[in-house]
Chains A and B, each alone.
Chain A
Amino acid sequence: MNGNLSLHDLDRDGAIRETEAGLPTETRRDLLKGAAAGGAALGLLTTASPAHAATRGDVAILNYALVLEYLQSAFYTEAERRKALRTATAKQTARVLGAVERAHVSALERALGSAAVKRPFFDFRGTTEDEDAFIKTAVAFEDLGAAAYKGQAYRIESRPILQAAIAIHSVEARHAAWIRYLAGTTPASSAFDEPKSMSEVNRLVASTRFIVRRPATRSRRRPRFTG
């Protein structure tokens, strides 16, 4: 397994490259530089944990993380595709966060191999079609993501998996702060971030009803092409 897996290797649909193309040069350079470094820690997942080598507990934690990452990545990807975001910053945030969350998904899928859970179907209930709802939901997702990783870190048995998870954890916190800043609310509301247990997180996710049994076929907006 390639230990130096870079973000570009993970970038199956070219989203990160597209994201870079739309950014000012300095930002683009930053993102590129970061992509290699980010890939190194994500690579820990794959070098260390072909699912057969990971313990059953670690596989369960990785799958739990994968569902949250599926949720986040689908959310940003859909928001970007629906083209409902108005401001340039919101658009750019959806692009960058979408690319990063997709990279997390790819890395977790590879680490889990055939043990990976199937990607669920989502219905974001209009939150990808309205900028205010989008920002509020993104704040909730990122705060939740950070709390979820924090709640599992000490339970992880494999050292490289812990290192990768903790390196994702602080990025989720950065995202939370970033979106909060955009939302005009304080990026760091307390001196300590508290963890959330798996059951708490699952209950919160269930309460959103964003995960559905069937693919969503309806949209609150009119289809762009009505034939």
Chain B
Amino acid sequence: MANDQHHTAASRRGFLQLGLAGASTLSLGAVLAAGAPRAVAATPSPRLDVEVLNYALLLEELQASFYETALDRGRLRGELREFAEVVVEHEQAHVKLLRGALGGKARAIPRFGFGAAVTNQRRFAAAALRLEDLGVAAYNGQAANLTRNALIAAARIVSVDARHAAWIRAIQGRPPARQATDPASTRSEALAELRKTGFVKS
């Protein structure tokens, strides 16, 4: 059952890539151009939801792929492995929810590459922390741009990413919650941060 659903999502992705000849590939450049520093206040609309949810999809696909790859490589031990095993399923579920919500409007995703972050435990922990904190700030930055139903969905996801962020911080002996409120990133800030990771290849 779960496999079938996976297969469906993968086929849809494949279909999109073939059918649209890569024109809709969600590259960082394209998202940056589309989401170029807009005024802080965008009026929520179904159309804007699609843009924002596609942006969320990119982040969730990246996280899911990161944990999948790290587990495949088999170098994680102890708490880090336990963390990755639990979290990968959450990220896959987030991807599925977003793809379900977007339907045919889900854009194809770029290729990812994680280098030593999926083979070296210390680097893995640092990258996981970075990706989870980045995700929380990205969702928080979009909350006010979403329509009611999209906001309800996003809120169910963001606190789980916040839990992941706190968890990986606790494992590393860092303070899991450093401040009274979490920061919110604009789309261009989050994408610039994402670009700095070097994980997005195309």
Contacts and interface: CB of A to CB of B under 8 A. Distances in A.
B179 A192 contact: no
Given A34-B179, A168-B180, A181 B166 contact: yes
B178 interface: yes
A113 to B, nearest CB: 20
A37 B179 contact: yes
Interface in B138-161: 139-140, 143-144, 148, 151-152, 155-161
A194 to B, nearest CB: 7
A68 interface: no
A42 interface: yes
A171 interface: yes
Contact of B174 (A30, A37, A42): A30
B16 interface: no
A107 B57 CA distance: 33
B160 A191 contact: yes
B180 A163 contact: no
A206 interface: no
A153 B162 CA distance: 16
Contacts of B174: 27, 30
A162 interface: yes
Contacts of B180: 7, 10, 34-35, 38-39, 41-42, 100, 103-104, 107, 168, 171
A174 B165 contact: yes
Contacts of A40: 181, 183
Contacts of B139: 170
Interface string B46-90: 000000000000000000000000000000000000000011011
A52 to B, nearest CB: 22
A53 to B, nearest CB: 16
A173 B162 contact: yes
B37 interface: no
A166 B140 contact: yes
A192 B158 CA distance: 9
Contacts of B158: 166, 169-170, 173
Contacts of A212: none
Contacts of A190: 90, 160
Chain B binding site: helix, strand, loop or mixed by DSSP?
helix
A171 B140 contact: no
A169 B166 contact: no
Interface band, chain B: 35 or more
Contact of B182 (A30, A103, A167): A167
Chain A binding site: helix, strand, loop or mixed by DSSP?
helix
Interface residues of A, number: 52
Contacts of A166: 140, 143-144, 155, 158, 184
Contact of A171 (B97, B160, B177): B177
B181 A171 contact: yes
Most buried by A among B139, B159, B162: B159
B176 interface: yes
Contacts of A176: 163, 166
B61 to A, nearest CB: 15
A143 B41 CA distance: 30
Given A188-B87, A192-B93, A153 B176 contact: no
Interface in A185-200: 186-188, 190-195
Contacts of A35: 179-180
B147 to A, nearest CB: 9
5 contacts: A39-B181, A166-B158, A177-B163, A188-B87, A194-B156
Interface of B: 41, 86-87, 89-90, 93-94, 97, 136, 139-140, 143-144, 148, 151-152, 155-167, 170-171, 174-184
Given A41-B184, A181-B166, 9 more contacts: A10-B180, A30-B175, A37-B183, A42-B181, A104-B180, A169-B155, A181-B171, A181-B176, A192-B156
Identify the 6 closest CB pairs spanning chains A and B, nearest first: A34-B179, A38-B179, A34-B178, A191-B93, A173-B159, A38-B180
